[in-house]
Amino acid sequence: MPSNTAAWQTAPKVKPLEVKSAPYTSPQENEIVIKNGAVAINPIDWIIQDMGKMMFSSLKYPFILGFDTAGEVVEVGPGVTRFKVGDRVVGHANGTDEKYNSPAHGAFQLYTVLLVNAASSIPSTLSYESAAVLPLGLSTAACGLFQKDQLALQHPSTSPKPTGKTLLVWGGATSVGCNAIQLAVAAGYEVLTTCSPKNFDYVKKLGASQAFDYNSKTVINDLIRAFNGKTTAGAISIGSRAAENCLDILDKCKGDKFISMASYPVPQPPPKKFVILSIAASYLSGMAEIWVKSKTRGIRTNFIFGSTLLYNEVGKAIYVDFLPQALAEGTFIAAPDPLVVGKGLEHIQAGYDLQRKGVSAKKVVVSL
C-alpha cells in the first residue's frame, strides 16, 4: 500500500496548512484512486481556511481540502470498467460534500479517491498542470448551464446544433467563466461576455462573440444594445455585482429570464479590515437588491453549488459523454492557463495566498 502525505487543515483558520502523513484509502464501487500529478486552487479553499466551515457545516477537522486534481490512476474500485491503472485523468474531488465528508476524497494530498463520474481521461499532450485547471470551474459552469433547476440549456456536444439563442456570461475571464463560454458554445448558444479589455482576445478565442469591459460606466447599456434583435437564453453571473447587473440587462431583453448565480454578493477580493462585518453587510444588501429586482421584474434566479452535478445526470453528461472526446478532439481546451507556484504539497499554502490576492485569466496550480 503506497504511503500518503497531505496538506491538512487541522482546525478553523489555522495557517499554514500542515503537511504530514495521511492514510491511503482504497476505492469503493464507482471509485478510482489517482496519484495526483498537479492540483489547482479555488477561492473556496482559502475562504474555508479564513472563515472556518461556515459554508460547509458538516466538515470535521482535521480535513484535506481541494477540488481540482489531475494524475494517474493507481487503483480501480470493484466493477469499474471506464478506467484502468496507468490512465491519465482529471477529476473533481468531492471530499467536502456532506455525503462524503471524507479527507480521502480531498485533492490536496498525494493520493485521492475520485468518483468515476467525476473523472475524465485526458490526451497525452495535456500536462497534469494544464488539466488541473478544469474541475471546479467546469463543474460550476455546467451546474449553472445545464441543471434542470438552473438554466437547463441544451447539453454540449462536439458537433453542436445552433439554438439561435444568446447567453450572457458575466465574468468570462474567471475560471468558471472560461468554462461557461466554451460549454455554452458547445451546446449551440452564442455568448456575450464581460471581462477586462486585456482579456477580450482570450475570451473570444474561447468562443465568445463579443466582450465588454465590466468596469465601463456604460457596460449595462452596451450589453442591452448588443442583445437587441437577439433572444436570450438567460445569464450566468460570476463576480462582484454580477447578478445585480445581469438583472438590469435581462430586464430589457427578449427571451429566457433566468440567472444562474455562481457568486454570492460579497466583496471580491475581501476587504482587509472588519472582514466579517463588512462581508455580512454586503451580503445582506446584495441579497435584498437581488430579491427585489428579481421579484419586481419577473426574472428567476438560483445560486449554484458547484458539486451538485456529481449526483445528477449533468455529471455524466460532462465528465463521461462530453469532456474526454472534446479534449481529445481539441474542441474544448483547459482554461484558464495554469500559473504554477511550485512543486510539492508545501506550496499549496502559497497557492492559497496568491489566489486570495487575485489572478487574471489564470488558475493557480501546484505540481506534485
Ligand X SMILES: NC(=O)c1ccc[n+]([C@@H]2O[C@H](COP(=O)([O-])OP(=O)(O)OC[C@H]3O[C@@H](n4cnc5c(N)ncnc54)[C@H](OP(=O)(O)O)[C@@H]3O)[C@@H](O)[C@H]2O)c1
Contacts with ligand X by CB under 6 A lie at 42-43, 136-137, 140, 170-171, 173-176, 194-196, 199, 214, 238-240, 242, 262-263, 268, 304-306, 359-361
Cβ closest to ligand X, residue 4 vs residue 308: 308
Give the position of cell 465528465.
319
Torsion of CA 26, 27, 28, 29, to 10 degrees: -150
| 283 to 247, 275, 286: CA distances (angstroms) | 17, 12, 5
Nearest approach in angstroms of CB 69 to ligand X is 15
C-alpha cell at 253: 431583453
Helix (H/G/I), strand (E/B), else coil: 282: helix
CB-CB contact of 263 with 176 (8 Å):
no
Nearest approach in angstroms of CB 85 to ligand X is 31
Residues paired with 212 in a beta bridge: 194
Whether residue 162 is preceded by a cis peptide bond, meaning omega within 30 degrees of 0, is: no
Nearest approach in angstroms of CB 298 to ligand X is 24
Tell me how far apart the 2 most distant CA atoms of the chain are, in Å.
62
Nearest approach in angstroms of CB 251 to ligand X is 18
Cβ closest to ligand X, residue 22 vs residue 178: 178
Cβ closest to ligand X, residue 4 vs residue 182: 182
Cβ closest to ligand X, residue 73 vs residue 167: 167
Cα–Cα distance, 147 to 311 (Å, whole number)? 11
Nearest approach in angstroms of CB 245 to ligand X is 8
Cβ closest to ligand X, residue 116 vs residue 309: 309
Nearest approach in angstroms of CB 284 to ligand X is 17
The angle at the Cα of 150, spanning 149 to 156, to the nearest 5 degrees, equals 115
Cβ closest to ligand X, residue 171 vs residue 286: 171
Cβ closest to ligand X, residue 80 vs residue 279: 279
C-alpha cell at 10: 487541522
Q: How many other C-beta atoms are found inside a 10 Å radius of the C-beta of residue 15? A: 12
Nearest approach in angstroms of CB 336 to ligand X is 7
Phi first, then psi: give them for residue 120, nearest 5 degrees. Answer: -135, 145
Cβ closest to ligand X, residue 85 vs residue 287: 287
Considering only CA atoms, give the Rg of the chain. Answer: 20
Cα–Cα distance, 29 to 14 (Å, whole number)? 34
| 218 to 88, 225, 234, 314: CA distances (angstroms) | 46, 11, 20, 36
Nearest approach in angstroms of CB 360 to ligand X is 3
